[in-house]
Amino acid sequence: MIALYNTCARNWAGRRLLLLGIVLLGGGWASGIGARAQAVPDTAAGVEPAAPAPLPMGEVVPSAPDTTERAFVEADSLSTVRRGGERLQELFGNVFVRQDTTRLRSRYALRYLEREELLFVGDVVIYERGDTLRADTVRYDRATEVGRARGRVRLANGDVTVRSDRATYYASEKRSVFPDSVTLIDSTRVLRAASGTYWSDEERAVFGGGVRLTEPGTLLQSDSLTYYRARGRSIARGNVFINRRGDRGGRGDTTGAEAPTDSSRSGSRTYLFGDWVDNQEQRRYSRMEGRALLVRVGTDSSGAPTDTLVVAARRLEAFRTDTHRRLVAVDSVRIWQPRLSAVADSAVYDRVVSTTPAEPSDSTRLPIDTVRPALDSVARASRPSGTEESVPQSTAPSRDTLSPSAASPARPAWATRRWATPVARADSALPLEDTRLFRSPVTWFEGSQVWGSSIRVRARNRQPDTVFVRGSAFAARRDSALNRIQQLKARHLAAVFRADSLRRIRARPNAQAIRFLATQDDSLNGAARTSGDRIDLRFRGGAVRRIRVVGGTETTYYRKPTNIPDPFQLDGFQWTPDRRPTRRLLFRDARVRQRLDLRPPPQPVPSDSLPRAVQPTRSRRR
């Protein structure tokens, strides 16, 4: 049985068809024998219900009853046809359909009477509790409330717009699946990928295949990415690469397009590589794991590189404030700079890019709730093996003494002092760099190898300024003329640089030194072992020019080279130049070289494969 409720009206604009609540037994608009159609007010936000208009009688097609939600439809005109043995209804002009909370509009619709499907064509719009989906065509299944959109698909939800050529929209879940190339635009963020899924209520997107996320000053690329819009958080997986434009003239982050303009060339760029990354722009925090590598390249006003910092580790965590940039590296840390390189189990690198006001605001401090977990992990990594330390959960380090040793009020014996976060009070000190290395760290600079329990390296104006070593400090330096290793040992050690060269090393207390003596023609002339409360070495032109021993001096001389013990070494001596990180080794990964546009390292050509005319000749000593 079919019940039709018709309301006819005429106006000067012409005749309009209004089809309300067609009750069909199975595959119809409303179920139930003897049910009557009724006009229900349209309460969808932003969608005005059409006014009643004349409705001609349609053809009746009996079928079995169904249990789908009641739907309402209106259009300018309607006709019933049979195609391929299937009965269809065609709706022409200003088509509007409402089912539950879903609203659909189009210029034309085709209703399949023997199944729960409709095909909407021409400027199709779907409204669903804040979602607006537009497309050229939409095939909608009433039973499952699923719409399959094709052609110029646009999904809008608040400030978020998602574009693609195809989409499947699940109205009950407010979930949209984009199987083809998809672009998500959220204010200044643009996310592109080969495919993706977006949950409107959760404000969450999962994209895969050549993912590319851009926002002012930052580019992120990966194999897949999960984006949490409300928190501005992105979790990327697989071949992750981040290109971030950093300090401009050392005064904070730049904004704008991906590529710098001519007026903003002076500053730096930071490149991050890894297998997995958690990037949280609102918190100015990034965490990268798996073959993690950071490359920071400083540039001058012409865009030419001025200095480079490379840090590799199992895990990297980066924090940013208005005045500081902090990098925490954990597990198998390797650091390279043109004049200094290092290895350690963990490290904390601070870069001060702006002066600190007398009363710093929260935005100029490193957030303690963010830094604390990273510092705790560094503190655990820097403890000697077999040592345990209890860290009360209610205890937090002071904001101005953020350091691994500050993670616990009860410091063990190996953590003798705390290293505070560096600050700059004058612009002349910018940029100020501070690197702290923990657990078996080793550094190399100007032919010297330095190691100890922990090391701090401070640089000003991109040049080494001071190196501090605490706990079992040891310095070794190769004398190229004698081919011997000069040695210096104490509890603590400090090396001072001036004008880009090593000027002084001070070791105290319990200082010990081994010196190999040379004649005027740079031949071995004996050796000496010296101890005292303090030993000062002064350098000029890279060579030791003065030695001063203070307090409790004891010296043993070996006047003849034949009397020098073999080996002649202080306790704890090590000489491992093969462990020194190099730029070439850190950039040997093909993905890094490709991203940085570096040429592959030259391969040596065997001499026997060269023509005789171009084979290298050996120089003869005269």
Residue 539: CA count within 13 A, CB half-sphere = 20
- Residue 173's nearest CA partner among 141, 145, 213 is 145
pLDDT surpasses 80 at 179: yes
For the chain, percent of residues with pLDDT exceeding 90: 39
pLDDT computed for residue 11 by the predictor = 35
Reference 351, options 216, 217, 247; nearest CA is: 247
CA dihedral 6, 9, 14, 18 (to 10 degrees): -30
**Cα separation of 442 and 345, whole Å?**
10
For residue 497, the model assigns a pLDDT of 87
Q: For residue 85, give every residue at least 6 positions away whose Cβ sits within 8 Å of its Cβ, in sequence order, or none.
A: none
H or E element at residue 377: helix 368-382
SS percent in the chain: helix, strand, coil, step 5: 10, 50, 40
Q: What digits encode the pLDDT tens for the residues 278-294?
A: 988 788 888 999 989 99
Question: Is residue 178 pLDDT above 90, yes or no?
Answer: yes
**What one-letter code names the amino acid at 131?**
D
Residue 84 gets the label, from left (phi > 0), alpha (psi -120 to 50) or beta, of left
Task: Give the number of other CB atoms < 10 A from CB of residue 274.
Answer: 26
Q: How confident is the model at residue 24 (pLDDT cuts 50, 70, 90)?
A: very low
pLDDT of residue 360: 53
Kindly state the greatest CA–CA separation across the chain: 124
Name residue 543's amino acid: A
Averaged over 353-366, what is the pLDDT? 60
The predicted model gives 418-438 an average pLDDT of 73
Q: Taking the C-alpha atoms of 158, 160, 161 and 167 in order, what is their torsion angle to the nearest 10 degrees?
A: -90
Three-state DSSP state, 63: coil
User: What is the domain partition of the chain in residue ranges?
Assistant: 216-383, 442-595
Contact 183, 162 (CB under 8 A): yes
Q: For position 602, what pLDDT does the model report?
A: 57
Spatial CA neighbour of 339 closest among 224, 454, 444, 188: 444
Cα separation of 564 and 557, whole Å? 9
CA atoms within a 13 Å half-sphere pointing along the CA-CB vector of 494: 9
Give the mean model confidence (pLDDT) for residues 497-518: 89
CB 224 within 8 A of CB 208: yes
List all residues 6 or more positions away from 153 whose beta carbon is below 8 Å from its beta carbon: 133, 134, 135, 163, 164, 165, 166, 167, 178
Residues in a beta bridge with 243: 219, 271
CATH class entry, domain 216-383: mainly beta
Average pLDDT over residues 209-238: 92
pLDDT digits (tens, 9 = 90+) for 309-326: 899 999 999 888 888 888
Measured in residues, the chain has a length of 622
Residue 428 has pLDDT above 70, yes or no: no
Question: How far is it, in rounded angstroms, from Cα 498 to Cα 485?
Answer: 24
Residue 410 predicted with pLDDT over 70: no
Examine the pLDDT at 403 and tell me if it is beyond 60: no
Percent above pLDDT 70 for the chain: 68
Checking if the pLDDT of 373 tops 80, the result is no
Q: How confident is the model at residue 82 (pLDDT cuts 50, 70, 90)?
A: confident
For the ranges 12-21, 86-95, 259-268, the lowest mean pLDDT is seen at 12-21
- Read off the pLDDT of each residue in 460-475 and give the average, rounded to a whole number: 87
Residue indicated by tokens 């490379």: 310
Confidence tier at 611 by pLDDT (50, 70, 90): very low
Q: How is residue 48 annotated by DSSP?
A: P
Cβ proximity of 489 and 511 under 8 Å: yes
Q: How confident is the model at residue 251 (pLDDT cuts 50, 70, 90)?
A: very low
Residue 546 reports pLDDT greater than 60: yes
Q: pTM of the full predicted structure? A: 0.71
In whole numbers, what is the pLDDT of the chain averaged over residues?
A: 75
Q: What is the pLDDT of residues 131-167, one digit of tens each?
A: 899 999 999 998 898 999 999 999 998 889 999 999 9
Q: For residues 225 and 278, give the distance between their C-alpha atoms in angstroms, rounded to a whole number.
A: 10
Q: Residue 399: what pLDDT?
A: 30
Which amino acid is residue 188, in one-letter code?
Answer: T
Q: Which residue has the higher pLDDT, 142 or 476?
A: 476
Domain 442-595 has CATH 3.40.109.10: no
| pLDDT of 462 above 50 | yes
pLDDT tens digits for 325-350?
A: 889 999 999 999 888 899 999 999 98
- In sequence order, which residues have a C-beta less than 8 Å from that of residue 425 and are 6 or more positions away? 355, 356
